[in-house]
Amino acid sequence: MTPLPSKKNIAVFSNLSAPPVQTEPLQSAVVTLNKGLMSLYHASAELQFSKPLPALLKAILKGLKTGTEISKAVIFIKEESSFNLKGLSSIGFTEKKIQETHVYITPEEESELLKLNPLPHDISSNQTRLSSFFESALDIKSPGIIPLEIRDRLIGILVYEKPDSLLHQEILIIFSRQAALTIENAKLFAKVEDMALKDTLTGLYNRRYFQQILDYELNRAKRYHQPISLIFLDVDHFKKINDTYGHSTGDQFLKQIAGKFASLFRTTDLAARYAGDEFVAILPSTNGEGSTILAQRILEVLGDHQVVIRGATLQISVSIGVATYQDLEGIGSSGLIARADKAMYEAKTQGRNCVRRFEDIKKKAVL
Protein backbone atom coordinates (compact mmCIF):
# COMPACT_ATOMS: atom_id res chain seq x y z
CA MET A 1 0.00 0.00 0.00
CA THR A 2 1.23 3.49 -0.77
CA PRO A 3 2.95 4.86 2.38
CA LEU A 4 0.92 7.64 3.92
CA PRO A 5 2.58 10.85 5.05
CA SER A 6 3.08 10.92 8.80
CA LYS A 7 2.14 13.86 10.97
CA LYS A 8 5.83 14.30 11.76
CA ASN A 9 6.71 14.67 8.08
CA ILE A 10 3.82 17.03 7.50
CA ALA A 11 4.95 19.15 10.42
CA VAL A 12 8.28 19.65 8.69
CA PHE A 13 6.51 21.43 5.85
CA SER A 14 4.30 23.46 8.17
CA ASN A 15 7.33 24.72 10.12
CA LEU A 16 9.32 25.77 7.07
CA SER A 17 10.26 29.43 7.06
CA ALA A 18 11.47 31.09 3.90
CA PRO A 19 15.13 32.20 3.93
CA PRO A 20 15.89 35.68 2.70
CA VAL A 21 16.84 34.39 -0.76
CA GLN A 22 13.68 32.35 -1.19
CA THR A 23 11.34 33.61 -3.92
CA GLU A 24 7.59 34.06 -3.51
CA PRO A 25 6.71 31.30 -6.06
CA LEU A 26 8.79 28.85 -4.05
CA GLN A 27 7.01 29.82 -0.84
CA SER A 28 3.68 29.28 -2.59
CA ALA A 29 4.86 25.88 -3.84
CA VAL A 30 5.80 24.81 -0.32
CA VAL A 31 2.39 25.88 1.01
CA THR A 32 0.62 24.02 -1.80
CA LEU A 33 2.67 20.89 -1.21
CA ASN A 34 1.98 21.06 2.52
CA LYS A 35 -1.75 21.46 1.89
CA GLY A 36 -1.72 18.52 -0.49
CA LEU A 37 0.04 16.27 2.02
CA MET A 38 -2.32 17.33 4.79
CA SER A 39 -5.39 16.60 2.67
CA LEU A 40 -3.96 13.20 1.74
CA TYR A 41 -3.39 12.44 5.41
CA HIS A 42 -6.93 13.40 6.42
CA ALA A 43 -8.50 11.58 3.46
CA SER A 44 -6.57 8.42 4.29
CA ALA A 45 -7.58 8.64 7.95
CA GLU A 46 -11.25 8.47 6.89
CA LEU A 47 -10.84 5.19 5.03
CA GLN A 48 -12.69 2.39 6.81
CA PHE A 49 -13.50 -0.54 4.61
CA SER A 50 -16.76 -1.17 6.41
CA LYS A 51 -18.04 1.84 4.47
CA PRO A 52 -19.46 1.48 0.94
CA LEU A 53 -16.88 1.90 -1.82
CA PRO A 54 -18.46 5.10 -3.25
CA ALA A 55 -18.17 6.76 0.19
CA LEU A 56 -14.51 5.74 0.47
CA LEU A 57 -13.72 7.18 -2.94
CA LYS A 58 -15.65 10.36 -2.13
CA ALA A 59 -13.31 10.94 0.83
CA ILE A 60 -10.31 10.59 -1.47
CA LEU A 61 -11.79 12.98 -4.05
CA LYS A 62 -12.54 15.59 -1.37
CA GLY A 63 -8.93 15.36 -0.25
CA LEU A 64 -7.86 15.68 -3.88
CA LYS A 65 -9.90 18.86 -4.25
CA THR A 66 -8.34 20.39 -1.13
CA GLY A 67 -4.81 19.43 -2.09
CA THR A 68 -4.85 20.32 -5.79
CA GLU A 69 -7.77 22.75 -6.28
CA ILE A 70 -9.30 20.35 -8.81
CA SER A 71 -13.03 21.14 -8.57
CA LYS A 72 -14.42 18.45 -10.88
CA ALA A 73 -13.33 14.83 -10.83
CA VAL A 74 -14.87 11.39 -11.34
CA ILE A 75 -13.64 7.92 -10.53
CA PHE A 76 -14.75 5.26 -13.00
CA ILE A 77 -14.26 1.59 -12.20
CA LYS A 78 -13.82 -1.18 -14.72
CA GLU A 79 -16.51 -3.81 -14.33
CA GLU A 80 -15.34 -7.36 -13.71
CA SER A 81 -14.85 -9.47 -16.86
CA SER A 82 -15.81 -6.64 -19.21
CA PHE A 83 -14.47 -3.50 -20.81
CA ASN A 84 -17.12 -1.19 -19.36
CA LEU A 85 -16.12 1.83 -17.28
CA LYS A 86 -18.85 2.89 -14.88
CA GLY A 87 -19.00 6.14 -12.91
CA LEU A 88 -18.92 5.44 -9.17
CA SER A 89 -17.96 8.57 -7.22
CA SER A 90 -17.34 12.23 -7.98
CA ILE A 91 -16.96 15.82 -6.85
CA GLY A 92 -18.54 18.69 -8.76
CA PHE A 93 -21.26 16.53 -10.35
CA THR A 94 -24.68 15.24 -9.36
CA GLU A 95 -24.82 11.62 -8.27
CA LYS A 96 -27.50 10.87 -10.87
CA LYS A 97 -25.36 12.18 -13.71
CA ILE A 98 -22.38 10.05 -12.71
CA GLN A 99 -24.44 6.89 -12.24
CA GLU A 100 -25.80 7.34 -15.76
CA THR A 101 -22.33 7.85 -17.27
CA HIS A 102 -20.51 4.78 -18.50
CA VAL A 103 -18.30 4.08 -21.48
CA TYR A 104 -16.93 1.05 -23.27
CA ILE A 105 -13.16 0.94 -23.47
CA THR A 106 -11.45 -1.09 -26.17
CA PRO A 107 -8.62 -3.51 -25.35
CA GLU A 108 -6.29 -1.25 -27.34
CA GLU A 109 -7.32 1.82 -25.31
CA GLU A 110 -6.83 -0.11 -22.07
CA SER A 111 -3.36 -1.15 -23.19
CA GLU A 112 -2.48 2.45 -24.08
CA LEU A 113 -3.70 3.70 -20.69
CA LEU A 114 -1.50 1.21 -18.88
CA LYS A 115 1.52 2.40 -20.88
CA LEU A 116 1.08 6.01 -19.73
CA ASN A 117 3.85 7.76 -17.90
CA PRO A 118 3.37 7.76 -14.13
CA LEU A 119 3.12 11.53 -14.17
CA PRO A 120 -0.20 12.97 -15.40
CA HIS A 121 -0.12 14.71 -18.71
CA ASP A 122 -2.40 15.53 -21.60
CA ILE A 123 -3.19 12.19 -23.19
CA SER A 124 -5.65 13.45 -25.76
CA SER A 125 -3.20 12.54 -28.51
CA ASN A 126 -3.34 8.90 -27.39
CA GLN A 127 -6.92 8.74 -26.18
CA THR A 128 -8.82 11.08 -28.51
CA ARG A 129 -12.10 9.16 -28.30
CA LEU A 130 -12.11 8.92 -24.50
CA SER A 131 -11.14 12.58 -24.06
CA SER A 132 -13.88 13.67 -26.46
CA PHE A 133 -16.42 11.46 -24.73
CA PHE A 134 -15.69 12.83 -21.25
CA GLU A 135 -15.53 16.40 -22.52
CA SER A 136 -19.03 15.99 -23.96
CA ALA A 137 -20.64 13.69 -21.37
CA LEU A 138 -19.29 15.54 -18.33
CA ASP A 139 -19.11 19.02 -19.84
CA ILE A 140 -15.48 19.58 -18.83
CA LYS A 141 -12.73 21.22 -20.82
CA SER A 142 -9.50 19.40 -21.65
CA PRO A 143 -10.16 16.45 -19.33
CA GLY A 144 -7.18 14.82 -17.68
CA ILE A 145 -7.25 11.02 -17.46
CA ILE A 146 -5.13 8.93 -15.12
CA PRO A 147 -5.28 5.12 -15.13
CA LEU A 148 -5.97 3.43 -11.80
CA GLU A 149 -3.97 0.23 -11.95
CA ILE A 150 -2.80 -2.54 -9.66
CA ARG A 151 0.02 -4.79 -10.82
CA ASP A 152 -0.38 -3.72 -14.47
CA ARG A 153 -4.12 -4.42 -14.33
CA LEU A 154 -6.53 -1.58 -15.07
CA ILE A 155 -9.23 -1.34 -12.40
CA GLY A 156 -10.51 2.14 -13.22
CA ILE A 157 -9.63 5.68 -14.27
CA LEU A 158 -9.61 9.11 -12.68
CA VAL A 159 -11.06 11.81 -14.92
CA TYR A 160 -10.68 15.44 -13.85
CA GLU A 161 -11.04 18.96 -15.17
CA LYS A 162 -7.62 20.55 -15.23
CA PRO A 163 -7.32 23.70 -13.13
CA ASP A 164 -5.56 26.77 -14.52
CA SER A 165 -2.41 25.70 -12.71
CA LEU A 166 -1.56 22.38 -11.10
CA LEU A 167 1.48 22.54 -8.85
CA HIS A 168 3.02 19.36 -7.48
CA GLN A 169 1.45 16.90 -9.87
CA GLU A 170 2.95 14.11 -7.78
CA ILE A 171 0.18 14.80 -5.24
CA LEU A 172 -2.34 13.93 -7.94
CA ILE A 173 -0.51 10.68 -8.64
CA ILE A 174 -0.47 9.77 -4.93
CA PHE A 175 -4.22 10.32 -4.71
CA SER A 176 -4.82 8.21 -7.82
CA ARG A 177 -2.73 5.41 -6.35
CA GLN A 178 -4.67 5.69 -3.10
CA ALA A 179 -7.91 5.40 -5.10
CA ALA A 180 -6.64 2.28 -6.92
CA LEU A 181 -5.62 0.64 -3.65
CA THR A 182 -8.94 1.56 -2.07
CA ILE A 183 -10.90 -0.04 -4.91
CA GLU A 184 -8.79 -3.18 -4.78
CA ASN A 185 -8.93 -3.47 -0.99
CA ALA A 186 -12.69 -2.82 -0.91
CA LYS A 187 -13.23 -5.61 -3.44
CA LEU A 188 -11.09 -7.98 -1.38
CA PHE A 189 -12.98 -6.96 1.76
CA ALA A 190 -16.30 -7.61 0.01
CA LYS A 191 -15.10 -11.05 -1.11
CA VAL A 192 -14.02 -11.99 2.39
CA GLU A 193 -17.30 -10.70 3.80
CA ASP A 194 -19.22 -12.61 1.15
CA MET A 195 -17.31 -15.79 1.98
CA ALA A 196 -18.37 -15.39 5.61
CA LEU A 197 -22.04 -15.27 4.56
CA LYS A 198 -22.10 -17.84 1.76
CA ASP A 199 -21.90 -21.61 1.67
CA THR A 200 -18.70 -22.51 -0.22
CA LEU A 201 -20.23 -25.46 -2.11
CA THR A 202 -23.56 -24.10 -3.33
CA GLY A 203 -23.05 -20.33 -3.23
CA LEU A 204 -26.28 -19.96 -1.23
CA TYR A 205 -26.32 -18.09 2.06
CA ASN A 206 -25.12 -20.17 4.99
CA ARG A 207 -27.05 -21.22 8.09
CA ARG A 208 -25.60 -18.49 10.28
CA TYR A 209 -26.69 -15.69 7.96
CA PHE A 210 -30.08 -17.36 7.42
CA GLN A 211 -30.62 -17.34 11.19
CA GLN A 212 -29.74 -13.64 11.44
CA ILE A 213 -32.13 -12.67 8.65
CA LEU A 214 -34.92 -14.89 10.00
CA ASP A 215 -34.65 -13.22 13.42
CA TYR A 216 -34.82 -9.80 11.77
CA GLU A 217 -37.71 -10.64 9.43
CA LEU A 218 -39.74 -12.38 12.14
CA ASN A 219 -39.41 -9.39 14.47
CA ARG A 220 -40.41 -7.15 11.61
CA ALA A 221 -43.45 -9.35 10.85
CA LYS A 222 -44.53 -9.15 14.50
CA ARG A 223 -44.09 -5.38 14.63
CA TYR A 224 -46.14 -4.71 11.49
CA HIS A 225 -48.55 -7.66 11.86
CA GLN A 226 -47.39 -9.18 8.60
CA PRO A 227 -47.18 -12.91 7.74
CA ILE A 228 -43.87 -14.63 7.10
CA SER A 229 -43.37 -18.17 5.80
CA LEU A 230 -40.56 -20.68 5.86
CA ILE A 231 -39.87 -23.42 3.31
CA PHE A 232 -37.78 -26.38 4.44
CA LEU A 233 -36.53 -28.74 1.70
CA ASP A 234 -34.70 -32.06 2.02
CA VAL A 235 -33.29 -34.06 -0.91
CA ASP A 236 -34.74 -37.58 -1.03
CA HIS A 237 -32.36 -40.57 -0.99
CA PHE A 238 -29.27 -38.38 -1.12
CA LYS A 239 -27.22 -40.90 0.85
CA LYS A 240 -27.86 -43.45 -1.90
CA ILE A 241 -26.44 -41.04 -4.49
CA ASN A 242 -23.29 -40.55 -2.40
CA ASP A 243 -22.90 -44.29 -1.82
CA THR A 244 -23.47 -45.16 -5.49
CA TYR A 245 -21.63 -42.39 -7.32
CA GLY A 246 -19.28 -40.95 -4.69
CA HIS A 247 -19.22 -37.71 -2.71
CA SER A 248 -17.80 -35.67 -5.59
CA THR A 249 -20.85 -36.52 -7.72
CA GLY A 250 -23.07 -35.85 -4.71
CA ASP A 251 -21.57 -32.39 -4.34
CA GLN A 252 -22.21 -31.58 -8.01
CA PHE A 253 -25.76 -32.86 -7.58
CA LEU A 254 -26.34 -30.51 -4.64
CA LYS A 255 -24.84 -27.55 -6.51
CA GLN A 256 -27.27 -27.99 -9.39
CA ILE A 257 -30.24 -28.38 -7.05
CA ALA A 258 -29.17 -25.25 -5.14
CA GLY A 259 -28.92 -23.21 -8.34
CA LYS A 260 -32.37 -24.30 -9.50
CA PHE A 261 -33.84 -23.81 -6.02
CA ALA A 262 -32.47 -20.26 -5.66
CA SER A 263 -33.77 -19.18 -9.09
CA LEU A 264 -37.40 -19.67 -8.02
CA PHE A 265 -37.57 -16.93 -5.39
CA ARG A 266 -38.18 -13.19 -5.37
CA THR A 267 -35.40 -10.74 -4.62
CA THR A 268 -37.05 -10.07 -1.25
CA ASP A 269 -36.82 -13.77 -0.29
CA LEU A 270 -33.71 -15.46 1.05
CA ALA A 271 -32.59 -18.98 0.10
CA ALA A 272 -29.93 -20.75 2.14
CA ARG A 273 -28.27 -24.11 2.67
CA TYR A 274 -29.29 -25.25 6.14
CA ALA A 275 -27.18 -28.40 6.51
CA GLY A 276 -26.02 -31.25 4.28
CA ASP A 277 -28.81 -31.86 1.77
CA GLU A 278 -31.28 -29.51 3.50
CA PHE A 279 -32.25 -26.11 2.10
CA VAL A 280 -34.43 -23.36 3.53
CA ALA A 281 -36.03 -20.17 2.30
CA ILE A 282 -37.49 -17.16 4.11
CA LEU A 283 -40.57 -15.62 2.46
CA PRO A 284 -41.38 -12.22 4.04
CA SER A 285 -44.98 -10.95 3.75
CA THR A 286 -46.14 -14.34 2.43
CA ASN A 287 -49.10 -16.21 3.93
CA GLY A 288 -49.69 -19.95 4.08
CA GLU A 289 -51.52 -20.14 0.77
CA GLY A 290 -48.88 -18.21 -1.14
CA SER A 291 -45.98 -20.17 0.36
CA THR A 292 -47.70 -23.50 -0.39
CA ILE A 293 -48.24 -22.52 -4.02
CA LEU A 294 -44.55 -21.65 -4.31
CA ALA A 295 -43.52 -24.90 -2.59
CA GLN A 296 -45.60 -26.87 -5.08
CA ARG A 297 -43.96 -24.94 -7.90
CA ILE A 298 -40.50 -25.81 -6.50
CA LEU A 299 -41.50 -29.48 -6.32
CA GLU A 300 -42.64 -29.46 -9.97
CA VAL A 301 -39.60 -27.61 -11.32
CA LEU A 302 -37.10 -29.77 -9.47
CA GLY A 303 -39.04 -32.93 -10.33
CA ASP A 304 -38.86 -32.07 -14.03
CA HIS A 305 -35.14 -31.36 -13.85
CA GLN A 306 -32.65 -34.16 -14.37
CA VAL A 307 -29.01 -33.82 -13.37
CA VAL A 308 -26.43 -35.35 -15.70
CA ILE A 309 -23.03 -35.87 -14.09
CA ARG A 310 -20.24 -37.97 -15.62
CA GLY A 311 -22.64 -39.72 -17.93
CA ALA A 312 -25.08 -40.59 -15.14
CA THR A 313 -28.62 -39.17 -15.30
CA LEU A 314 -29.93 -38.52 -11.80
CA GLN A 315 -33.57 -37.75 -11.08
CA ILE A 316 -34.30 -35.14 -8.42
CA SER A 317 -36.82 -35.88 -5.70
CA VAL A 318 -37.40 -33.62 -2.70
CA SER A 319 -39.64 -33.43 0.36
CA ILE A 320 -40.82 -29.96 1.37
CA GLY A 321 -42.27 -28.59 4.58
CA VAL A 322 -43.96 -25.20 4.95
CA ALA A 323 -44.69 -23.19 8.09
CA THR A 324 -46.21 -19.72 8.40
CA TYR A 325 -46.19 -17.14 11.16
CA GLN A 326 -49.25 -14.91 11.26
CA ASP A 327 -49.96 -13.04 14.49
CA LEU A 328 -48.96 -16.01 16.66
CA GLU A 329 -47.80 -14.99 20.11
CA GLY A 330 -44.90 -16.70 21.83
CA ILE A 331 -43.16 -18.23 18.82
CA GLY A 332 -39.61 -17.34 17.89
CA SER A 333 -37.38 -18.18 14.96
CA SER A 334 -36.38 -21.56 16.43
CA GLY A 335 -40.04 -22.46 16.85
CA LEU A 336 -40.84 -21.52 13.25
CA ILE A 337 -37.90 -23.59 11.99
CA ALA A 338 -39.06 -26.55 14.10
CA ARG A 339 -42.53 -26.32 12.57
CA ALA A 340 -41.21 -26.23 9.00
CA ASP A 341 -38.84 -29.09 9.81
CA LYS A 342 -41.70 -31.16 11.26
CA ALA A 343 -43.77 -30.53 8.12
CA MET A 344 -40.85 -31.68 5.99
CA TYR A 345 -40.54 -34.93 7.96
CA GLU A 346 -44.28 -35.45 7.53
CA ALA A 347 -43.68 -35.22 3.77
CA LYS A 348 -40.99 -37.90 4.17
CA THR A 349 -43.34 -40.24 6.01
CA GLN A 350 -46.06 -39.68 3.42
CA GLY A 351 -43.93 -41.18 0.65
CA ARG A 352 -41.53 -38.31 -0.16
CA ASN A 353 -41.61 -36.08 -3.27
CA CYS A 354 -44.45 -33.99 -1.83
CA VAL A 355 -45.30 -30.80 0.11
CA ARG A 356 -46.79 -30.66 3.59
CA ARG A 357 -47.92 -27.68 5.66
CA PHE A 358 -47.44 -27.56 9.42
CA GLU A 359 -50.88 -25.97 9.81
CA ASP A 360 -52.51 -28.98 8.13
CA ILE A 361 -50.58 -31.40 10.36
CA LYS A 362 -51.67 -29.45 13.43
CA LYS A 363 -55.35 -29.59 12.36
CA LYS A 364 -55.11 -33.34 11.74
CA ALA A 365 -53.61 -33.85 15.20
CA VAL A 366 -56.51 -31.92 16.81
CA LEU A 367 -59.08 -34.01 14.96
Question: Cα–Cα distance between 18 and 27 in angstroms, integer?
Answer: 7
Q: Per residue in 74-102, pLDDT tens?
A: 999 998 778 899 999 999 999 888 888 98
Question: pTM for this one?
Answer: 0.57
Q: Per residue in 187-197, pLDDT tens?
A: 888 777 777 89
Q: Is 323 or 365 the better-scoring residue by pLDDT?
A: 323
The maximal CA–CA distance of the chain, rounded, in angstroms, is 103
Question: Cα–Cα distance between 306 and 274 in angstroms, integer?
Answer: 23
Question: Cα–Cα distance between 358 and 239 in angstroms, integer?
Answer: 26
Q: Is 122 a catalytic residue?
A: no
β-bridge mates for residue 279, sequence order: 233, 273
Closest CA to 302 of 339, 271, 261: 261
Q: How far is CA 259 from the centre of its chain?
A: 19
Residue 123 has pLDDT above 50, yes or no: no
Q: What 3-state class would DSSP assign to 90?
A: strand
Catalytic residue among 236, 277, 304, 341: 277
**pLDDT confidence of 22, banded at 50, 70, 90?**
very low
Question: Cα–Cα distance between 277 and 85 in angstroms, integer?
Answer: 41
What is the set of domains in the chain, with CATH numbers? 7-196 (3.30.450.40), 207-366 (3.30.70.270)
Q: Per residue in 41-54, pLDDT tens?
A: 555 555 555 577 88
Question: Cα–Cα distance between 73 and 90 in angstroms, integer?
Answer: 6
Q: How far is CA 365 from the centre of its chain?
A: 46
Which contacts qualify for 359-362: CB closer than 8 Å, 24 or more apart? 359/288, 359/323, 359/324
Closest CA to 9 of 39, 37, 46: 37
What's the 3-state SS for 124-163?
CCCCHHHHHHHHHHCCCCCEEEEEEEECCEEEEEEEEECC
pLDDT at site 18: 44
